[in-house]
Amino acid sequence: MAKRTPQVKPDPHGLSAREAFDEIERLRAEIRHHDYLYHVKARPKLSDEEYDRLFWRLRAIEEVYPDLITTDSPTQRVGGQPQPRFMTFVHTAPMLSLDSTQGEAVVRRFDERVRKGMHGQVAYLLQPKLDGASVELVYERGRLVRAVTRGNGTRGEGVTENMKTIPTVPLRLRAVDRSAPELLAVRGEVLMYVSDFETFNARMVDSGAQPYASPRNSAAGAIRQLDSRVTALRKLHFVAFDVLSAHGVTFHKDRERVEALLRWGFRVPEGGTVATSVEEVLAYHRSWAARRDTLDYEIDGVVVKLDDLDGRADLGTTSHHPRWALAYKFEPRSEVTRVERIAVSVGRTGVLTPVGLLLPVQVGGVTIARASLHNREEVRRKDVREGDLVRIKRAGDVIPQVLERVEEQGQRRGRRFEMPAECPACGTAVEERGPLTLCPNRLGCPAQLKGRIVHFGSRNALDITGLGDKTAALLVEHGLVIDLADLFTLQPDRLIELPGFAEQSATDLVDEIQDCLRPELHRFLYALGIPEVGVSVARDLATHFRDLDRIRTASVSKLLEVPGVGPRMSEAIRDFFAHEQNARAIAAILEHGVQPSPLAASGGTGLAGKKFVFTGRLTRLTRPQAKQLAERAGGRVVVSVSRETDYVVVGEDPGSKYNRAVDLGVSALDESQFMALLEDAQVELE
């Protein structure tokens, strides 16, 4: 019988089928390891480029040998075809919820009950209570086979494809050979970081969509998308805290399970600990309450769990809750207060936003005096009027929101709120687009101009620290800036005349703006405030086109070639550049000598994140060149010297910054030392 040879395309890497198999296995193991270091350990060892090289090689070989693609390959995280609906699955073990309290007395009673049942020594495992969406992950022989939402606790929806897009969800358990159970079911929380949520929600509002009320809702919404490619676009994290079933592995303590979760490659809640007294439990709650606002994810309390697993079995569960655990929640971050007035603010894109000006109220230790009402439809839906009582909510750093109106018996209410017919900043008749109200006076409206200036100088744009809200308002009000390009003509002597400016601050601002003449392309793109273009899309565009002119003239189909850019975005970008006023504004900026430069391949040099300050005249380099080189090395250029500054580069006739650097003990370099440093960092000097 003739031997069948496998039908394969010629491999660009010149590998035989056997070699391809080995190479695929090797690449997967390596990528998995680096995913783990990056996402779980937050200690990456490879630069993005090195990682991408591994990934693309794996993808290229898999393309030639599609039969070798497995569902747990790192290339399978990107999201697949949309599903018509979700299948439901029964959980391997019920996903119970926890009894909860906000009161110390209840915690003490819980502790007494547990001690009585346990006759003696008691240890609790304490963890922060993560406020996300609860999901069960099921692994068979170490491979992820299913992910199911909590649902009603017994049965939930299968969201496997979506969960696979989350980088902290292991597709395959680590340390599989030593300790992977036949079947493992893990429970954890899907989180969206507050900072990512804010960016995401701002985009929802900008595009007229209904914003999500909290990172939790947004995470829950993301994992229930029928199209997993949509889930993949939201930045989600998975943190594991419970083992629902583990066949063939016996644990005696919950802390052993947490250790096993870590070994298997999961992230677990940070700051977990074991306590033996109720006082320690109370102190743990206090310390997390104090840290709560500094976290980039939301927690709503701490969880107290009996560590001893036999003890848990003895105490048992009620119909809803285990008797061996308690959620000790924080005071809510919502509060009731009165809306004194509804003002309307105008953003840089011309969108009018109603804002409730509130009788100031403390929410979780912070005074809140304003809360967003988002748009016309929102106000209508919630029917909030001046003088009403409302419940407001603050979540992490998220802009406070009006959750709902609180009914008051016998209260005469004010008039229904209507959006103004004219822009409150410039008087132009507004236009309605879907739920949004817009001021169409793009160039002449002072509020929009102010917004554009602030955005232009914001941290992810040109990073001009001196261009805050107040300064931008002054520049507009006093007619110093009528167009973004005017920023580059500012002179210290005119600035000094503005209230609040002194000689030093005026020179610093002008210097800082002049230091931006060679911005990195992606920062410049982001600074322009193109609709739909956030930080990461700006980066993608810059990496793909590497040249502003090519982006300015790109057709929709060319733009669609950029990974991550969809049809809506491409049209928005093309329309932006095609718009005559925008084209003129950009040309004016470039005429002032602004030269955006493509992103240099950052090789992860030792200068990444280092802060540089320049003072005095350089002789071999111009200031913009020096700034650009420092940035190419991964550094940041800032204006003033502080303890955080890493290097002060001192030219001829240095200013007071040099003295300050000496006082603070910051390293000072002359121009040639600076260039030597760059050479060491392998930055090419032109």
> Which residues in this chain contact ligand IVH in the complex, by CB under 6 A?
96-98, 127, 129-130, 134, 189, 241-242, 269, 303, 322, 325, 327
Q: Shortest gap between Cβ of 275 and ligand IVH (angstroms)?
A: 14
Q: Shortest gap between Cβ of 241 and ligand IVH (angstroms)?
A: 4
Query: What's at 501, amino acid-wise?
Result: F
Residue 258 or 398: the one with the smaller Cβ distance to ligand IVH is 258
Residue 129 or 394: the one with the smaller Cβ distance to ligand IVH is 129
Which residues have CB under 8 Å from 10's CB, separation 6+?
A: 64
Q: Shortest gap between Cβ of 112 and ligand IVH (angstroms)?
A: 20
Residue 303 or 358: the one with the smaller Cβ distance to ligand IVH is 303
Residue 274 or 429: the one with the smaller Cβ distance to ligand IVH is 274
Can 235 be counted among the known catalytic residues? no
Q: Give the relative orientation of helices 48-64 and 17-35 as an angle to the nearest 10 degrees.
A: 150
Task: Please state the φ and ψ torsions of residue 492, each to the nearest 5 degrees.
Answer: -55, -40
Find the helix or strand (DSSP H, E) in which 551 lies. helix 548-552
Q: Shortest gap between Cβ of 321 and ligand IVH (angstroms)?
A: 7
Contact between 442 and 350 under an 8 Å Cβ cutoff? The reply is yes
Residue 81 or 318: the one with the smaller Cβ distance to ligand IVH is 318
Closest Cα to residue 188, out of 143, 136, 234, 231?
136
CA–CA distance from 55 to each of 77, 117, 325 (Å)? 12, 54, 43
**What pairing do the DSSP bridges indicate for beta strands 667-670 and 647-650?**
parallel
Q: Shortest gap between Cβ of 311 and ligand IVH (angstroms)?
A: 14
Report d(CA 237, CA 683) in Å as an integer.
35
Contact between 530 and 573 under an 8 Å Cβ cutoff? The reply is yes
Q: Shortest gap between Cβ of 86 and ligand IVH (angstroms)?
A: 19
CA 181 to chain centre: 34
Report d(CA 81, CA 83) in Å as an integer.
6
How is residue 98 annotated by DSSP? Answer: -
DSSP string, 486-536: GGGG--HHHHTTSTT--HHHHHHHHHHHHTTSS-BHHHHHHHTT-TT--HH
Which residues have CB under 8 Å from 535's CB, separation 6+?
A: 199, 460, 522, 526
Residue 242 or 532: the one with the smaller Cβ distance to ligand IVH is 242
Q: Give the relative orientation of helices 469-477 and 446-456 as an angle to the nearest 10 degrees.
A: 140
Place of tokens 């655990």: 325
Residue 137 or 384: the one with the smaller Cβ distance to ligand IVH is 137
Q: Shortest gap between Cβ of 272 and ligand IVH (angstroms)?
A: 8
Residue 194 or 590: the one with the smaller Cβ distance to ligand IVH is 194
Buried b (16+ CB within 10 A) or exposed e, 181-213: bebbbbbbbbbbbbebbbebbeeebbeeeebbe
Instruction: Write down the catalytic residue from 9, 41, 116, 129.
Output: 129
Of all residues in the shown chain, the one whose CB is closest to ligand IVH is 134
Q: Shortest gap between Cβ of 159 and ligand IVH (angstroms)?
A: 15
Q: Give the relative orientation of helices 104-118 and 278-291 as an angle to the nearest 10 degrees.
A: 140
Known catalytic residues are 129
